[in-house]
Structure 1
Amino acid sequence: MKAGSKFLNAVSAVALSASVVASGAGVLVLASAPAAEAAVIRSVQVHGAQRAGEEAVRSNLTIRPGVSFSNTDIDESVKRLYSTGYFSDVKINVSGSTLVVTVSENQLINQVVFNGNRKIKDDKLQAVVQTQPLGPYNQSMVNADIERIKDAYKAIGRSDVQVTTQTAPVGQGRVNLAFVVNEGDRTKIANITFVGNNAYGDGRLKSTIITKETGPLSFLTRKDVYSEDKLRADEDALRQFYYNHGYPDFRVVSSQAVLDESTNEYNITFTIEEGARYDYGNINVESTVSGVTSEDLQGLVETKSGAVYDARQIQKTMDAISKRVASAGYPFARVTPRGDRNFENHTIGVSYMVDQGERAYVERIEIRGNTRTRDYVIRREFDFSEGDAFNQSMVARAKKRLEALGYFTSVNISTAQGSAPDRVVVVVDVEDQSTGSFGIGAGYAAGGDGFLLEASVEEKNFLGRGQYIRVAAGGGLNNSRTYNVSFTEPYFLGYRLAAGFDLFKSQTSSNDDYDYSEQGVTLRVTAPITEDLATTFRYTYKEIKYSEDGAFGDDGIPFTADDNVSNTYDALIDHGKYVQSSVSQTLTYNTLDSQTLPREGIYASFTHEFAGLGGDSDFYKITGRARYFQLLSTEADLIGQLAVGAGHVFATNDNLNVFDQFTFGGRQVRGFENDGIGPRTRDHSDSLGGTTYFNVSAEMSMPMPGIPEDIGLRAAVFADAGTLFGNDALTHGDSIEGTGMSWRASVGVGVMWASPFGNLRVDYAEPVVKEDFDKKQQFRFSMANQF
């Protein structure tokens, strides 16, 4: 048979049996030619592509004139044309040597609008849907967009939402599309219950999870919004809580969220098994790494025999040993804790097995789920990057750092096999959360500024870059005003250095004697030394002005002698302007388990400051303070706290100024005014400050009886003591009283509330040891951290 005859036979076969009909649902019916045969066409004809254009159709065909094709190519061409979304129907057949493509076009979207939406703005919904103006109207895509809108509303606690669509033709094959939203009521969380818990009550467990029951202020906190991701995070939080408190066998049997459609409320139930409580047994370290002995590593062990089992201490030990072995030249070192369980006396001995580990490298770090936080903000929390040695301890350390940022509701890090046996892909899944806040702070100083108010705006993750910004303004009676602006870049110049500045300005009056104002700037940089220890360097420039009472100008700046105001003297200091220029260094040690409500750990700081880089102040100042927290009863969530502080300042050139000395009062010993303790003028009763202070405090807090613990109300009892003495400042007028080392003490009760507006606290303290000239303030309340 000649070649031409074979070609005609093949074309005829295709023309008769390769007709393709595709429905709008994408169902394809193909009459297949024999697999051994192929066809060649000479031209392509397109019908029905008025708006899309013939070239757009041809570009999506896999069939070309002069090139042999089969039914597989026809099938693929139909799929590609449908995938564009521009066609509701596609037919392909062969007529002689011509491929005929007939299409029916979808209508084009002229405009997409949203109606009925109040809780989610148009721009947010526009980013959710995939149907866009000038794109094709595709019913499958519209249906998917309806589900996407519903998911967006579920994420803000409105599972009752209903979404429909409306279309309006506008001519020339175009339509306007409207998504009509019935937002419904907020979906609440009626109850969170626990089954199987014996060691801890429901209230204690509710305080450890993210999801909260609906309460009077839930519309502000939004913590009663249910999501499956939050439920998984809650399971992990429960596991960590029990693992850290002596229950290594704890497990979550199930967690169920049942929506009652009649009330639009969820009922969430966690079924758990606590297991037995364990203490640590024998602890040892075994090393097979050349040049690194077990004795070298024993001092790094955090776990102690006889102590309550705590998974955090095991992780800290693994991190410390891994760092030490890596610094000895073994970057792939592996630390494996092995438990030796004694079921009779409920102890677990731990052996840390240290070996060189398998050689593996990080192929890439894959970040998923971050809709706001930028990738590099997450990547920089890892001590390794692509191509570096893989170390599991570093992964755990990075997870802890990411969780501590406060940018995410959940953080999960997993690993996957890379392109080779020695390559590892690190997968980071996160979920962003709101990091901005608006706060209103309040305080009261009897006999002084009276009521003090402050409004502040704070953003911990500015533009997703991890930068911290805070702007605050406050004021009170007696012409008191405060202004503060703070900015921190946590990774300055790409290094783990937190650099920033603080701008501040304040003015106040004092008992009809003088007006005082100060303004300045602080430049600071903080560098970590270890995971728990950091150092901060600061430079502060401050301008201080004293003037006669009422001598502030309209601009808030006090007049001086040049402004034709009488240049008089009071008992404190000459009226006029002073400059203070100083540098300081602070060492901070922080092992707290929580920065908001610590139950265990130590927070301690030591600062030394030198002033004399120009200006009017010349001194050297040393201060130190420490707070120790201990959970006294896990069942009752009873927290004990001990605090101590001390400071001393001396002049490095002549005498001190009044404003160079320490002030002391209600911030250290409750029951007194802020500057109510220490040396004072005998006639004017002005606080002069002192050169040396000591203070000590003891406090015990517990959840408020009869109130659900997850509301955040706690009661406290406390006892404070302290003293401020010494004076090295030149003053005018009458003699000074109270320069001796006389201790003051007070006892009191307090109520704390972790409210949506900030941490609110009310204290009542009764001074039990005081001097006649001290200034009392028995009632004290504060909101946020300002006062």
Structure 2
Amino acid sequence: MSIGQKSGRPRGKSYAHRAGVSALALSLAAAMAFTALPEMVQAQSYAFNQVRIEGNERIESGTILSYAGITRGETVSAGELNAAYQRIVESGLFETVEITPQGNTLVIEVTEFPTVNRIAMEGNRRLKDEDLTALVKTQPRRVYSPRQAEQDAQAIADAYLQQGRIAAQVTPKLIRRSNNRVDLVFEIFEGGVTEIERIGFVGNQAFSDGRLRRVIETKQAGLLRAVIRSDTYIEDRVAFDRQLLQDFYASRGYVDFRVTGINSELSQERDSYVLTFNVEEGQKFNFGRIGVASELPEVDLAAFRNAISLKSGKAYSPAEVDKEIIRLERLATREGLNFVRIDPQVTRNDRAQTLDVTFNLTRGPRIFVERIDIEGNTTTLDQVVRREFNVAEGDPFNPREIRETAERIRALGYFSDAQVNAREGSTPQQVIVDVNVTEQPTGSIGFGGSYSTTDGLGASISFAEQNFLGRGQRLSFGINTASTNQAYSFNFVEPAFLGRDVAFGLALSYRETSYDSADYDTATGIFRPSLTFPISENGRLGLRYTYRYTDITDFDEDEVGNVVISEAEEEARNDHMLGYTLSYDTRREGLDPDRGYLLEFGQDFGGLGGDNNFVQTDVRAIAQTLVWNEEITLRATFQAGAINYIDGDSRVTDRYMMTENIMRGFEYAGIGPREVNDAEDIDSPLGGNYYAALRFDAEFPLGLPEEYGISGGVFYDIGSVWGLSDDTIEKAGDNDILYSDFTARSSVGVSVFWDSVLGPLRLNFSTPVSKEDNDNEQNFSLSVSSTF
């Protein structure tokens, strides 16, 4: 009897053992033949006085004998002999195994798997060797395992799958070397990118397909996007889109919304998918009655009712409910009510399509935080993660607070994954909070070019690190050059100054400008340390000191007027300022998906031993809302500023110049006070001590396929720059000063937004509606589009 196995060469991704049990089959056939004899024939059995191991080089004979489980002198059956063979094979140490009884001797002949000499990748271009090698668990100078090689091949194929290359194939191949060594080579066929040809929705009525496509991360790859920014089919991202749709509808009152299925159809060429999301929207519900209830005698219900900000009639949103729970829990903590939990009870009214919410204050279990364990942060310091917790060891345990902490840790952007879980501590009344994070790169180096109608062609070099030295600090510096200006900047932010919720910032910048429209050059340097901290849920206060250096150089006496000449002849100015900015931003919470607004008010007080004493005030207000099922964005922006000099006077480098970012339709410094002398062909913009501008924008889809990344807009701007001191006007001499008084200008235009490979671009085509004779209009501008 001989029981044996020999492994052939690897084929594809599968390496299966081929068992040969011919001797066992012969013995069974013989047993069946002898059943015709009148006497019972006993099953075949063996007893061995000796076991001989052959072919092993690295593995001890005793180890092989232990796998076989056969003892000398022990009687074994053919079945037990086959079981011994299977145990040796399943050890995964041998390429071939053969068991042969020879009289009183059992011969076990093995061929050991070779040692891996090296691992190589062939055929890969999209992914680097080092990235793929990191996925492979097979290691050089280790015993080769066909099963592990198969798993490694699948891991490489999965890496390509995440890039949308579902046709990728990975085949492990062995190259035999001397001394029972092999080179393991993964032959890779990368295949093409499988793109999303079309994304459709079935069952949606409240929101159009185009609006829902903007919600999900998966995008279509069409005629234009195939050249500019092709999108690929990635299963994990499509699965995440389901949750994005769920959150989108839930925040708008559609509490019954669900995605009933996602159909992904692969084309016959296997190069594109058609995705279809099947949805059920259900009815839209609004908030009904809002109340507070509690059976705890120490609770003052009136105080909690006054803390409720929810109003009836507003679209129901789970995020709004969570916001109220947080507010009530904070109030309970301030009132000294530990272990009080807020349990929202929602009552559904289908007829009125409302949801009544009652916040029940209940007594929670007395559980404390024993300790907080942080793991996985190889670069980021523990204190950076720990400061995201609003609880410390010994504080009452609040599950909601732990969930919010997890979201804050993920929002840092330092980790690709962050898991925060609680487990029972040393006693049932204590919990241990485990934080497991996975680091990700947080730095970037950029080299780029730019073009705008204001600054012309430019090049830039930048460096940014969001987690400097693992301390959560932000560090950046950049060099930007263009035909009209050069800028150098350095910024540093410590978000938790002295361990508090206070951001310390340090900004350094130097800029030289040479605008053709001004006919003189300027130099400006700024040194600004600052502190910013929250003063309310949506409000922040920033305090700063600013040192500013300004100088006017290289002016052309034949082109500029007497005012600029007089100001340029002065020495460079050194201003010292103390300032503050108050801001209120409802976008911080993002709880209202349809609207939001931002209010900013800031002042800088010049003096402190500087060259001039003045007060500069700046105001900004932005309001935005979405209408027509969120297809159209309406936005209104108001900006204004004033410089009031107490001692000294402003120069052209201090005064406001209107730019296209504030008012479109006019060139830089194209409106406002000017010094004019027609005889000498002088028309020199001076800027003003005051400015105000009001902008109205509407953005909407153009009906083009979303994959083009093109949408449209219209706008109307009205504003002015004005105001010069009497001393400044006197410097003009015989020249005329125009538009020193307030004179409103306005313009209308259309915009084209293009989500290009260079970034979001905005093309403005405008024409002035009201203007003055000496104003310089600008009918086209190209800039990087910014979002509110």
Both structures adopt the same fold (TM-score exceeding 0.5)? yes
Residues 135, 612 of structure 1: alpha-carbon distance in 2 compared, 3 angstrom cutoff: farther
Match of 1:626 among 614, 621, 628: 621
Any conservation in 1 of the 2:700–2:711 contact (CA below 8 Å)?
Answer: yes
From 553, 568, 576, the equivalent of 1:573 is 568
Tell me, yes or no, if structure 1 residue 193 matches structure 2 residue 200: yes
Alignment-derived partner of residue 156 in structure 1: 163
CA deviations over 1:77-125 (Å, ceiling 9, x no partner): 9999999976658999xxxxxxx99986432222111111111111111
Alignment of 1:590 onto 2:585: yes
What SS does the aligned partner of 1:685 have? strand
Alpha-carbon distance in structure 2 between the residues aligned to 1:323 and 1:711: 47
Cα 1:57–1:296 change in 2 (3 A) is farther
1:360 and 1:424 in contact (8 A); partners too: no
Name the CA shift for 1:486/1:664 in 2 (closer, same or farther; >3 Å).
Answer: same
| 1:671-695 deviation digits (Å, cap 9, x = unpaired) | 1223233223234433333333322
Partner of 1:774: 775
Aligned to 1:508: 513
Deviates more, 1:100-109 or 1:345-354: 100-109
Distance 1:572 1:579 in 2: 14
How much has 1:547 moved relative to structure 2? 1.9
Q: How far apart, CA to CA, are the structure 2 residues paired with 1:616 and 1:369?
A: 54
- Aligned identity (percent) is 32
Q: Amino acid of the residue matched to residue 675 of structure 2?
A: T
Q: Which residue number corresponds to residue 696 of structure 1?
A: 694
Q: CA deviation at 1:293?
A: 2.2
CA distance in 2, matches of 1:375, 1:217: 46
**What is the one-letter code of the residue matched to 1:255?**
I
Q: Which residue of 2 aligns with 1:715?
A: 712
Letter paired with 1:484? S
CA distance, structure 2, for counterparts of residue 232 and residue 367 of structure 1: 29
Task: Name the SS of the counterpart of 1:690 in structure 2.
Answer: coil
| SS of equivalent residue, structure 1 residue 585 | strand
Which residue is equivalent to 2:303?
Answer: 296
- The code of the aligned residue for 1:515 comes to D
Question: Which residue of structure 2 aligns with residue 667 of structure 1?
Answer: 661
CA contact (8 A) 2:691 2:719 kept: yes
Q: Tell me how far apart the structure 1 counterparts of residues 251 and 512 of structure 2 sit (CA, whole Å).
A: 48
Q: Bigger shift: 118-127 or 376-385?
A: 376-385
Alignment CA distance shift 1:384-1:452 (3 Å): farther
Confirm whether residue 237 of structure 1 aligns to residue 244 of structure 2: yes
Which of 514, 520, 524 matches 1:518?
Answer: 524
Q: Name whichever of 568-577 and 626-635 sits farther off.
A: 568-577
Q: Is the 8 A contact 2:666 2:778 kept in 1?
A: yes
Cα–Cα, structure 1 residues 214 and 314, in superposed 2: closer, same or farther, change >3 Å? Answer: same
Cα distance between partner residues in 2 of 1:104 and 1:493:
66
The RMSD of aligned alpha carbons is 4.8
Who wins on radius of gyration, i.e. which is larger?
2
Output one character per residue of 1:403-427: Cα deviation in whole Å (capped at 9) or x when no partner.
6556789988776777765537567
* CA distance in structure 2 between the partners assigned to 1:257 and 1:433 by the alignment: 33
Q: CA deviation at 1:224?
A: 2.6
SS in 2 for 1:482: strand
Of 319, 325, 330 in structure 2, the residue corresponding to residue 312 of structure 1 is 319
Deviation at 1:544, TM superposition (A): 2.2
Is 1:593–1:599's contact at 8 Å kept on the other side of the alignment?
no
Corresponding residue of 1:544: 550
1:443 aligns with 2:452: yes
SS at match of 1:169: strand
Q: Take 1:78 and 1:724, find their aligned partners in 2: how far apart are those partners? A: 94
- Pairing of 1:670-749 with structure 2 (within 5 A): 670-683=664-677, 684-704=682-702, 706-709=703-706, 711-728=708-725, 731=728, 733-734=731-732, 736-749=737-750
Alignment: residue pair count: 719
Say which SS state the counterpart of residue 663 (structure 1) adopts.
coil
Is 1:639 the equivalent of 2:633? yes
Alpha carbons 1:230, 1:409 under 8 Å: kept: no
CA distance in 2, matches of 1:761, 1:53: 70
Deviation of 1:521 after TM superposition, in Å, equals 3.5
For residue 348 of structure 1, report the CA deviation from its aligned partner.
1.2
The residue aligned with 1:270 is: 277
Query: In 1, are the aligned partners of 2:462 and 2:478 still within 8 Å (CA)?
Result: yes
The farther-off stretch of 425-434 and 247-256 is: 425-434
Per-residue deviation, 1:182: 1.0
Question: How does the TM-score come out when normalised to structure 2?
Answer: 0.78
**Helix, strand or coil for the counterpart of 1:519?**
strand
Q: Secondary structure at the match of 2:333?
A: helix
Cα distance in 2 between the residues matched to 1:290 and 1:627 = 45
CA shift, 1:162, in A, is: 0.9
The C-alpha deviation readout for 1:473-518, integer Å capped at 9, x for no partner, is 444435x323334344444565444444333232222557432122
CA separation of 1:56/1:212 partners in 2, compared to 1, >3 Å: closer, same or farther? farther
Q: Distance in 1 between matches of 2:272 and 2:658?
A: 52
Q: Are positions 1:255 and 2:262 aligned together?
A: yes
TM-score (norm 1): 0.78
Distance 1:405 1:439 in 2: 26
Cα displacement (A) at 1:394: 2.3
Is the 2:666–2:779 Cα contact (8 Å) retained in structure 1?
yes
Tell me if the contact between 1:208 and 1:237 (Cα under 8 Å) persists in the aligned partners: yes
The answer as to whether partners of 1:319 and 1:397 remain within 8 angstroms in 2 is no
Secondary structure (helix, strand or coil) at the match of 1:140 reads helix
User: 2:487 is matched with which residue?
Assistant: 482
Residues 440-479 of structure 1 deviation map (CA, whole Å, 9 limit, x = unaligned): 443113xxx5x2435454656458955545554444435x
Change over 3 Å in CA distance of 1:207–1:369 after alignment to 2: farther
Match for residue 24 of structure 2? none
Corresponding position of 2:46: none
- What is the CA distance between 1:434 and its match in structure 2? 9.0
Q: Deviations over 1:716-768 (max 9, x none)?
A: 22222223332348547415332222222222221223334222111123222
CA contact (8 A) 2:659 2:668 kept: yes
Q: How does 1:353-432 map to 2 (within 5 A)?
A: 353-361=360-368, 380-384=387-391, 388-398=395-405, 400-401=407-408, 404-405=411-412, 421-422=428-429, 423=431
Q: CA deviation at 1:239?
A: 1.0
Provide closer, same or farther for how the CA distance between residues 455 and 120 of structure 1 changes in structure 2, counting only shifts above 3 A.
Answer: same
User: Secondary structure of the equivalent of 1:248?
Assistant: coil
Aligned 8 A contact 2:563 2:732 in 1 = no
Q: Given that residues 290 and 310 in structure 2 are in contact (C-alpha distance below 8 angstroms), is that contact kept between their aligned partners in structure 1?
A: yes
SS at match of 2:215: coil
**How far apart in 1 are the matches of 2:370 and 2:97?**
44
Cα gap change, 1:376 to 1:698, in 2 (>3 Å): same
2:150 maps to which of 143, 158, 178: 143
Give per-residue Cα distances to partners, 1:310-354, cap 9 Å, x unaligned. Answer: 332222212222222223334533222221221112111111222
Equivalent residue, structure 2, for 1:563: none
Match of 1:605 in 2: 600
What is the alpha-carbon distance in structure 2 between the residues aligned to residue 419 and residue 293 of structure 1? 35
Asked if 1:284 is matched to 2:282, the reply is: no
> What do the CA deviations read for 1:589-643 (whole angstroms, capped 9, x no partner)?
2222799x985211222222223344434322221211111112225x1111122
Matched residue of 1:768: which SS? Answer: strand
SS in 2 for 1:151: helix
1:205 to partner: Cα distance: 0.7
Q: Give the Å deviation of 1:782.
A: 0.4
1:84–1:151: structure 2 CA closer, same or farther, 3 Å change rule? same
Quote the offset at 1:255 in angstroms. Answer: 2.5
User: C-alpha distance in 1, partners of 2:708/2:469?
Assistant: 30
